[in-house]
Amino acid sequence: MTVSPYLQLEQEFRRLHAFRGALSLLRWDAAVMMPRGSADVRGEQIAALETEHHALLTTPKVARLLERAEAGASQLDDWPLANLREMRRQRDHAIATPPTLIARLAKATARAEVFWVEARKANDFKLFAPHLQEVVHLVRDRAALLGQARGLAPYDALVEVFTPGISTADIDMIFKALSRKLPGLIHAAIELQAQHAPAPLAGKFSIAKQRQLAVEVLRAIGFPFDRGRLDESEHPFTEGVPGDMRVTTRFDANDLFSGLLGAVHETGHAMYDLGLPQQWRDQPVGHDRGLALEESQSLLFEMNLCRSRSFARYLRPLLEKFLPVEGAEWNEDNLYRQLIRVRRGLIRMDADELTYPVHIMLRYELERKILDGTLPVAELPEAWHALVDQRLGLRATNDTEGCLQDIHWAVGHFGYFPSYALGAVIAGQLNEALRAAHPTLDEELAVGKFDGVLDWLRDNVHGIGARLPVKDLIKEATGKPLTAAPYLRYLESKYLESY
């Protein structure tokens, strides 16, 4: 019995899927369970599995099978055809970067990360600069090679690694629309919130009780605890594969919302991954449709659905069930106003919904200039401070609160930042379509019912997997091409009209 080239490829990618799952567990464990002294050993294990994954993906056998399968592609249905396209993309990406460059990048980023930590401690960018410079050199080489392989400009090729189907032109168009509207919106929202300032929600909140509360909320959302876990880690994240999804959050005894909303955010990622087409779960077409869409799902749950009046209504009695929340300030309206509090700040990770895209856009601007050489690495700190001053009217006194605050560049993740803001924009557009299709949504959220939301997301987003390019997916889901307009309408309504 001969097996078709396409089906042989499925077999190869099934094995790669198992490797990705194992790698995901190695990373989860490193962040959640691993003893501190074991980092070197774990690093070796991850490097060995990644190297092997790369080797398996770039064998001549896979290349031959891809060519033969593509020659017979006219006989394939929609899903296998899309699967073949995604296989090709993965393999082209893998083969474009030679093993020597991968090894140099791995070493340079490992070193840069160490010195990034040191530079933050010492608050001295100069400790980090030469290592960042080395990373930038290597990322430039990689971007050129990826671009050649995929017929894309270098920066577009980097973006394609994280968010395939979105071009620099798309990002520029969307960020232009945001830049036009957001400053005025932020200003007006802060003024309005100052006039109706919410009362503080002070107290010490038991971590164990916060955890119980989060578990109850996650259960309401539909997170399957028999095929997933909620744990705690330094920064919230999601790892795993459908069948074993693991989310984390970080509880703060002084802040009731950060742990809960962190868990909800990650559960948005998890529900996306869990809703991916089961039949294709171990194939490239069964993967998520890139980081921007991933982020749209976490933000849809955190921002659009749960930082809302209806969710505040649902939360009110739940809080009472788990925590000592006595006093007039624990009313629904005040909870809501606290959930959507806007404050200009220096730190991206602490930013609220409204100011967050500003942090992203300035990173995008800076990383493009660093890569094309118009901004020397040595001048990054001052360029950062100047831009934060210009966009947010704030000036940090040090670089730890400036260009040293994020790990992304140290580990070579250029082209990654835009996905955060694109995610918010996509979430805004999906939210509009979801609410149009589901007029009773708010009443359901107010009693902790999420199945209507999930049904719609499964049909229109999750279940599509990687079958469609992301912009086609959004157009099919919402009936409109991707623009910033629905997102901006949503922000205006939430922060100005209905505050």
| Residue (247 or 377) nearer to its own copies, CB | 247
**What phi, psi does 248 have (nearest 5°)?**
-130, 160
- Provide the residue type at 93 as one letter: H
What does each C-alpha distance from 334 to 255, 328, 341 come to in angstroms?
15, 9, 10
The whole-angstrom distance between residue 44's C-alpha and the CA centroid of its chain comes to 26
| Residue (25 or 190) nearer to its own copies, CB | 25
**Catalytic (active site) residue 432:** no
Residues 6+ apart with CB under 8 A from 447: 314
CB of 53 to its own copies, least distance (A): 10
CA angle 389, 392, 397 (to 5 degrees): 45
What span, in angstroms and rounded, lies between the C-alpha atoms of 440 and 442?
Answer: 6
Q: How many CB atoms lie within 10 A of CB 191?
A: 11
| Residue (77 or 226) nearer to its own copies, CB | 226
3-state secondary structure of 87: helix
| Residue (49 or 76) nearer to its own copies, CB | 49
Among residues 208, 215, 235, 176, the alpha carbon closest in space to that of 408 is found at 235
Catalytic residue among 12, 160, 266, 302: 266
DSSP string covering 196-242: TPPPP------HHHHHHHHHHHHHHHT--TTSEEEEE-SS--EEEET
Determine contact, residues 178/353, Cβ cutoff 8 Å: no
| Residue (39 or 349) nearer to its own copies, CB | 39
**What phi, psi does 285 have (nearest 5°)?**
-70, -15
β-strands 244-249, 238-241 pairing: antiparallel
Running DSSP on this structure, what letter comes out for residue 308? S
Q: How many helices (H) and strands (E) does the chain have?
A: 20, 3
CB of 205 to its own copies, least distance (A): 22
Residue whose token pair is 């095929």: 227
What span, in angstroms and rounded, lies between the C-alpha atoms of 467 and 122?
Answer: 48
Determine contact, residues 482/474, Cβ cutoff 8 Å: yes
CB of 47 to its own copies, least distance (A): 7
CB of 56 to its own copies, least distance (A): 8
| Residue (221 or 300) nearer to its own copies, CB | 221
Residues near its own copies (CB under 8 A): 15, 18-19, 21-22, 25-26, 29, 33-38, 40-42, 44-45, 47-49, 51-52, 56, 224-229, 241, 243-244, 282
| Residue (47 or 73) nearer to its own copies, CB | 47
CB of 218 to its own copies, least distance (A): 13
CB of 23 to its own copies, least distance (A): 8
CB of 278 to its own copies, least distance (A): 12
Catalytically active residues, by annotation? 266
